[in-house]
Amino acid sequence: MALFSDLPRGDLREIVRQFTPNWFAANMGTGILALMVGAFPYPFWGQSPLAQGLWIINGLFFCLFAGLFLGRAIFYPASFRRLFGHPVQSLFIGAIPMGLATIINGGLLLRPHSGPALEMALVFWWVDVALSVLSVLVVPYFMFTAQEHAIERMTAAWLLPIVPPEVAAASGGLLAPHLATGGATMVIYISYVLWAISVPLALGILTILFLRLTLHKLPHADMAVSAWLPLGPLGTGALALVLLGDADTQAFAATPLAQLAAFGQMGGIFIAFLLWGFGLWWMAMAGLFTLRYLHEGLPFNMGWWGFTFPLGVYTAATFALAHDTDFGVLAPLGAGFTLLLAFFWVLVTWRSFQGMWSGQLFHAPCLSEETGLLEGVCTLPPPGTGPDLLESLRR
């Protein structure tokens, strides 16, 4: 099989013209795996080098994807504008700031701290905030004004442009304790605003999603993995509250807001537990949905990265709650989630490299003459008969 043999006209420039933001979902999945390997509560040989290695690889791929995405915007502006009119591909714009957040968090958790490194992390955090705000404003605006949507075609992918602000809020909770008091309080205030922008919108979408599933049943198998996406806002929303509550007690300890900071920490843990419990229900439903889809066949597409980041941030919330409480079941439960995350990552990475090698994943649905919903995930045909995920496992 020739490398990139299935690209239109065999021209490598088509990689740039047809590059889609769903590739940044690979950054999200790889980055969160690096963080969860580093946070794994039962130390093992090579734990730190493995976590740092994944983080470095993730950073390199983010730079590559960012270059390709900017190249499409600069050299193919007409093609780039069509992205915003596509009802599925435009949603993945939210993957860009979320992928960047994993790099920022990895720099804070997996690498030694220094003055220049912290200053760089703060700059990147502001960039992440700006991209997150653009995502939560621009994509819904096009959904409201230019795109065609219907309740029966809705999936949890609607969450993708909504979640980035709360991911940036969680990063702010990690960053604030490393800053001077003035900078820390500013980051904390902004992070709470970002959380407030994102989480209520996400909960509203989940309510509509419940209605859609009740009335119109499960989506097509091409969007099957979207069942795992609700873990993202619930896990990140819980994680952000725990991290911001811990940062409150440090940043406001010697200020008139000290009592409010203590309330923020306790209230954050309480609300985080509620979100975590809600996420546990969604995880169970996602598992049941996936088992059902296995019997129908799961064609591979870039949406399979939805197995990774939502589960990863939910695992991060589990570890954060385990750290701040005495609920002993959380640490081993989080360890089990991490092993499941690693399994998903290996499987999806292998299939992604297969698609890259063949060139079949370098296709922008928004440039196709057909505009159906199922094109939004760049589906690969099943490699054989029978359920595709089972076929992948046998390989």
DSSP 244-260: HHHHHHHHTTTSTTHHH
How far is Cα 69 from Cα 86, in angstroms, rounded to an integer? 16
Residue found by looking up tokens 């490598």 in the block? 12
| Structural domain total, the chain | 1
Closest listed residue to residue 98, CA positions, set 173, 30, 40: 30
**Share of residues in the chain with pLDDT > 70 (%):** 87
Quote the pTM value: 0.89
* Residue (of 219, 228, 205) closest to 305 by Cα position: 228
pLDDT at 359 over 70: no
**Planar angle of CA 234, 172, 66, nearest 5 degrees:** 85
**Residue 193 within a domain:** yes
Indicate the burial class of 69 (C-beta count within 10 angstroms; 0-12, 13-18, 19 or more).
Answer: buried
pLDDT beyond 80 at 256? yes
Of the candidates 324, 171, 321, the residue with the CA atom closest to the CA atom of residue 249: 324
Asked if the model's pLDDT at residue 62 lies above 70, the reply is: yes
- What gap in Å lies between CA 204 and CA 138, rounded to an integer? 18
- Letter string b/e over residues 103-133, b meaning 16 or more CB atoms within 10 A of that residue's CB: bbbbbbebeeeeeeebeebbebbeebbebbb
Neighbour-count burial of 85, counting CB atoms closer than 10 A to its CB (0-12 exposed, 13-18 middle, 19+ buried): middle
Angle, helices 181-216/164-175, rounded to nearest 10 degrees: 150
Whether residue 6 lies inside any domain: the answer is no
Would 5 be classed as within a structural domain?
Answer: no
Residues 89-144: pLDDT tens digits? 999 999 999 999 999 999 999 987 778 889 999 999 999 999 999 999 999 999 99
Query: What secondary structure does DSSP assign to 147-169, as a single string?
Result: ----GGG--GGGGTTTSHHHHHH
Confidence of residue 363 (pLDDT cuts 50, 70, 90): low
Q: Does residue 3 belong to any structural domain of this protein? A: no
Across the range 231-256, mean pLDDT stands at 93
Torsion of CA 80, 86, 87, 90, to 10 degrees: -10
pLDDT of residue 386: 39
DSSP 395: -
Q: Averaged over 371-376, what is the pLDDT?
A: 39
Is 173 among the domain residues? yes
CATH number for position 164 = 1.50.10.150
Predicted local confidence at residue 376, as pLDDT: 44
Residue 202 CA to residue 247 CA, distance in Å, equals 24
Q: What pLDDT does residue 315 have?
A: 98
Domain ranges, residue 137: 12-394
Residue 72 phi/psi, 5° resolution? -65, -40
Do the domain assignments include residue 337?
yes
Q: What is the mean pLDDT of the chain?
A: 88
Does residue 275 form part of some domain?
Answer: yes
Q: How far, in Å, CA of 303 to CA of 26, rounded?
A: 10
Nearest to 377 by CA among 53, 60, 88: 88
- Mean pLDDT within 36-50: 96
Q: 3-state secondary structure string, 51-101?
A: HHHHHHHHHHHHHHHHHHHHHHHHHCHHHHHHHCCCCCHHHHHHHHHHHHH
Which amino acid is located at 246 in the chain?
D
- Cβ atoms of 169 and 191 within 8 Å: the answer is yes
46, part of any domain: yes
